[in-house]
Structure 1
Amino acid sequence: MFFDDERSNRLRPMILNDLVAQYMNDAERAKFLGLPESCRVRERVKIVSPDNLTMGEHCWVGEGAVLDASGGLEIGEHTSIGLNTLVFTHSSWLANMALENHSGSDLIERKPVKIGKGCFIGGLVVIMPGVTIGDFATVQPNSVVAKDVPERSLVAGNPARVFQRYDEEYIEAEVKRVREENARRRALSDDPSGWGSPSGDFSGK
């Protein structure tokens, strides 16, 4: 049975879009959602109010992530959002406390979230409304981000706090280290044509 009221008729196209998107690959899904062609969006991703989402090039969103853009959500280029991560830009807390948690309550509060470029947001992270995450920040899995994160920092925990700061020289050194190790592994691998690090145990070689 389907309701024929204003709210149901407004929500139904979004529900159908979510259903259709599950039959697409990650590149098709990103294009279907109006995101840049270089982005990838995995299965079961939910975007609330997609018209309020701005996403840069070469972003990746993992399975089961929920991006609430109802209060405004900006994600910079080359940023990854881990699987089952929740980004909130609105809260109904006060509506619950005042016993006014009805549809259309004027006690819903919205605050934008900004995630910078070159960020790595691990899986199962919760980002609260109003938070800004600086460029090149890393948020470890299972963290709850309730306040701003400085650029070029690693945060973890509940609530998340800064555990490490890193500069451009540190990243350049890590890039060099990983590229050299991956080249060594590919040279020893039975399948040297793959990208990144080949699978297998190369520790004794």
Structure 2
Amino acid sequence: MEETQWRVKGPLELDDDKWAEKFSKAANLQYELNHLHPSQIQRKKELLHELFGQIGENTEVLLPFYCNVGTNIKIGKGSFINTNNNYLDTDSIEIGDYTLLAQGVNIICANHPVSTKERIVPVDDKLDDGKYAYINEEGNFDDSIEYTFVNTRSPVKIGDRCWIGANVIILPGVTIGNNVVIGSGSIVTKDIPDNSIAVGNPAKVIRQND
């Protein structure tokens, strides 16, 4: 599903019962997960299987770990997620087999329109008719109206045998191919092809990964 096909107003956990239930369940599971004693290995495994949509055999997730929904996340076999990964999974996140994600990786599916008049809209749907009558010629918004923000989303996919460096940020709609290395601190704004090494802000391919 592309961003333009999904437009939701306001904080999802406050304005929609289905989203509220998903967020609440994920928050409760993460609270228990992130407060486990290191010796509680079996309970950790149970909670990860309950939190994620899929987690493959021999995949390790170090704690703490954070996400919005959990069930939108699918991880293959033999992968490794280091501490303090944070996934805004309002859309699907797919991570392949034998892929390494270093500490502090952020994967973001959630987004908002860049244009202010598209991002900040009246709470009242009758006023939110696309005509922007509440904005005057100088671009000022009518302060007598209550406003909220618009949410959009796009999926993120990471292939097999990748290495995502520390503190990398992966933005909505990005697909990272197989056998890819992303350098630490990079911000991935566009797709990265198979067998590539990419670094920087925005991340750019610097050479092939042989």
TM-score w.r.t. the length of structure 2 is: 0.68
Deviation of residue 17 (structure 1)?
1.2
1:125 maps to 2:168: yes
Structure with the largest fraction of strand: 2
Q: Residue 33 of structure 1 is aligned with which of 39, 48, 51?
A: 48
Partner of 1:66: 86
8 Å Cα contact 1:69/1:88 also seen in 2 = yes
Deviation of residue 36 (structure 1)?
2.5
Unaligned ranges ≥5, structure 2: 1-13, 50-54, 124-147
The letter of the residue matching 1:148 is D
Secondary structure of the residue aligned to 2:71 is helix
- Shift of the 96–51 alpha-carbon distance from structure 1 to 2, 3 Å rule, reads farther
8 Å Cα contact 2:181/2:198 also seen in 1 = yes
1:20 maps to 2:40: no
CA distance in structure 2 between the partners assigned to 1:150 and 1:107 by the alignment:
31
Deviation of residue 53 (structure 1)?
1.2
8 Å Cα contact 1:27/1:41 also seen in 2 = no
TM-score w.r.t. the length of structure 1 is: 0.69
Q: Residue 190 of structure 2 is aligned with which of 142, 147, 150?
A: 147
CA distance in structure 2 between the partners assigned to 1:73 and 1:101 by the alignment:
31
Tell me which of the two structures has the higher relative contact order, counting C-alpha pairs closer than 8 angstroms and 6 or more residues apart. 2
- Shift of the 124–99 alpha-carbon distance from structure 1 to 2, 3 Å rule, reads same
CA distance in structure 2 between the partners assigned to 1:160 and 1:18 by the alignment:
30
CA distance in structure 1 between the partners assigned to 2:32 and 2:79 by the alignment:
21
- Shift of the 128–18 alpha-carbon distance from structure 1 to 2, 3 Å rule, reads same
Deviation of residue 138 (structure 1)?
0.2
Secondary structure of the residue aligned to 2:27 is helix
- Shift of the 8–71 alpha-carbon distance from structure 1 to 2, 3 Å rule, reads closer
Deviation of residue 152 (structure 1)?
0.9
RMSD: 2.9
- Residue correspondence of structure 1 range 1-205 to structure 2 within 5 A: 10=21, 11-22=23-34, 23=36, 25=38, 28=42, 29-34=44-49, 35-94=55-114, 98-100=119-121, 107-167=150-210
The count of aligned residue pairs is 162
Partner of 2:130: none
Deviation of residue 7 (structure 1)?
8.2
Unaligned ranges ≥5, structure 1: 168-205
Identity %: 24
Deviations along 1:103-157, whole A, 9 cap, x unmatched? xx78311111110000000010000100000101000100000001111111000
- Shift of the 136–30 alpha-carbon distance from structure 1 to 2, 3 Å rule, reads farther
Secondary structure of the residue aligned to 1:108 is strand
- Shift of the 6–115 alpha-carbon distance from structure 1 to 2, 3 Å rule, reads closer
CA distance in structure 2 between the partners assigned to 1:123 and 1:51 by the alignment:
24
8 Å Cα contact 1:94/1:107 also seen in 2 = no
Deviations along 1:48-94, whole A, 9 cap, x unmatched? 22111111001111111112222111100000111111101120345
- Shift of the 146–24 alpha-carbon distance from structure 1 to 2, 3 Å rule, reads farther
